[in-house]
Structure 1
Amino acid sequence: MSRRAGSALIAAFGLTLAGYEREAVPVSTASSRATPVPEASAAPLPEPVESPSPSASAEPSGIAGITYQPQDDCAKAPGWPAFRKSLVSAVRARDGAALAALASPDVTLDYGGGSGVGELQKRLADPDRQLWAELDALLPLGCAVEGGLAAMPWVFWNVPDDADSYTAMIVTGSDVPLRDGPKGKELGNVGWFIVNIDPMAYQPDAKTTPVTLDNGDRGWVETAKLRSLLDYRLIAEPKDDGWQITAFIAGD
């Protein structure tokens, strides 16, 4: 998903949250927001770092590229720290009622018309959907602010315009090796890189996946470390009585 496409979602997730019509909005590319990757926290559900706008850098491993380490651009937004604390508490407790209390009454859940707090609670209780696990995965991935709205993960509104949302994935983690084969030698670190896969050959249950870097280099990465740019995201909007989840959605 490109930053341009992410920006267009601001209109779709506005006060009406209706239609999800997308318009091209000219914005700058995300390349200027890339950041060097620090060591990941050992604590469970680590907080994303709060930092100024990042810049491109070459990894010490010798693989040059742009990294998209999660940032917390929402941290200073009025009311956000309390909202995030309540969100984390609800997710860790698997408390559907508490999570529903943080959501807008017409919270959007899919592009087919699924919405509402009742439906949200129903889906949270469905073990086949594994939505609690999806929320767990979102919590350490930062938060971006654009047009007054907040989006988790941070990368959702911070990817290059030319990224193909159907083939691009972000490598989650600070220290993820690129190898020259499924069990080959390490070529370098591609933690928090955006890489491309062949969607026709992609097997989510495989231990490793072949990927292509922006510079054309190829290698293999642990499949569990790959996250689609079209995976679940949470959109929140400030209301008179605090932040509310206005969408929890995946796909495009």
Structure 2
Amino acid sequence: MSGRASSALIAALWLLLAGCEREAVPVPAISASAASVGKSSALPSPEPLSSPSPVASGETVGLAGIRYAPRDDCAAAPGWPAFRKALVSAIRARDGAALAALASPDITLDYGGGSGIEELQKRLADPERQLWAELGAILPLGCAVEGGLAAMPWVFWNVPDDVDSYSAMVVTGDDVALLDSPKGKDKGNVGWFIVNIDPMDYNPDARFTPARLDNGDKGWVETAKLRSLLDYRLIAEPKNGKWQITAFIAGD
């Protein structure tokens, strides 16, 4: 064998062996700690749509969201239990005088200057405004405290800063399905999720409304279960040793 042929054969054998060695090098497994670091810097992976696990409020859940189930953060505030009891009694009895007694004389009623006890009683008596129904709808939605003030519903002061309140709605109820079409297949539970809707196409009289989750998943939700984040809220604050309603207002 010539020197050139011998050199070529040796080179070929060396490349073959080198290739085998490279293929035989094991890929190191990712440690549990490294995996957890990776997850903390990225969005959480959604669980399967078919089996969202029940979780407490504020935890990430199966379909791509966080539950905003009502809480009562006001119960421990001095004087609040007695105030709430009187509020519930007035609303259930639709007693305008009793509700007015719980309100501040300068209670704010809209962003156009509407205010005061007299205007409150006038609006309560107007059947077209349906304010008693609005008040009743607020009662089971919890209460939040911020800066010494109380807000009902609870979600009003617990919405993330990056949520567009004009197109966002909270799904009220523990067990509400996201459907793949109106009356279609159940994709998973979106109870107490905040979902996005197209406000230009929203029809409160429709049976179902198209909605989008934060991760891009889309579906249909029963319209009756949707509540705008800008819907009516009641704000109260302690004045002269007792709680008073200082605003009952909707919009922004």
The structure in which a higher percent of residues are helix is 2
Distance in 2 between residues matched to 1:198 and 1:240, nearest whole Å:
44
- In the TM superposition, what is the alpha-carbon distance from 1:200 to its structure 2 partner? 1.1
Q: Point out 4+ residue stretches in structure 1 off by more than 2 angstroms.
A: none
Ranked by relative contact order (alpha carbons within 8 Å, sequence separation 6 or more), the top structure is 1
Query: Which letter maps to 2:59?
Result: A
1:147 equivalent in structure 2: 147
Q: Secondary structure at the match of 1:136?
A: helix
Deviation at 1:167, TM superposition (A): 0.2
Is the aligned partner of 1:58 residue 2:61? yes
Q: Deviations over 1:21-76 (max 9, x none)?
A: xxxxxxxxxxxxxxx667xxxxxxxxxxxxxxx542324xxx24200000000000
1:158 is aligned to 2:158: yes
1:182-236 Cα shifts (integer Å, max 9, x gaps): 1101000000000000111111100000000011100000000000000000000
Q: Is the 8 A contact 1:237 1:243 kept in 2?
A: yes
**SS of residue in 1 equivalent to 2:169:** strand
Contact 1:37 1:191 in 2 (8 A): no
State the superposition RMSD in angstroms: 1.1
> Are 1:180 and 1:219, in contact at CA under 8 Å, matched by a contact in 2?
yes
Q: Normalized against structure 1, the TM-score is what?
A: 0.77
Query: What does residue 50 of structure 2 align with?
Result: none
Can you list the C-alpha shifts for 1:157-192, whole angstroms capped at 9, x where unaligned? 001111101100000000000000011010000000
AA paired with 2:142?
A: G
Secondary structure of the equivalent of 1:72? coil
The one-letter amino acid of 2:199's match is P
The CA distance in 2 between the partners of 1:57 and 1:166, in whole Å, is 23
Tell me, in whole angstroms, the C-alpha distance in 1 between the residues paired with 2:205 and 2:107.
31
What is the 5 A alignment of 1:39-188?
A: 54-59=57-62, 63-188=63-188
Cα deviations by residue, 1:129-171 (Å, 9 ceiling, x for unpaired): 0000000000000000000000000000001111101100000
**TM-score normalised according to structure 2 size:** 0.77
Q: Letter of the aligned partner of 1:151 in structure 2?
A: A
Work out whether residues 236 and 243 of structure 1, in 8 Å CA contact, stay in contact via their aligned partners in 2: yes
CA contact (8 A) 1:79 1:242 kept: yes
| Number of residue pairs matched by the alignment | 199
Partner of 1:21: none
For 1:215, the equivalent position in structure 2 comes to 215
Q: Is the 8 A contact 1:37 1:174 kept in 2?
A: no
In structure 2, the partner of 1:227 is 227
In structure 2, the gaps of 5 or more residues are 1-53
Task: Please give the alpha-carbon distance, in whole angstroms, between the structure 1 residues aligned to 2:82 and 2:191.
Answer: 30
2:100/2:121 contact within 8 Å kept: yes
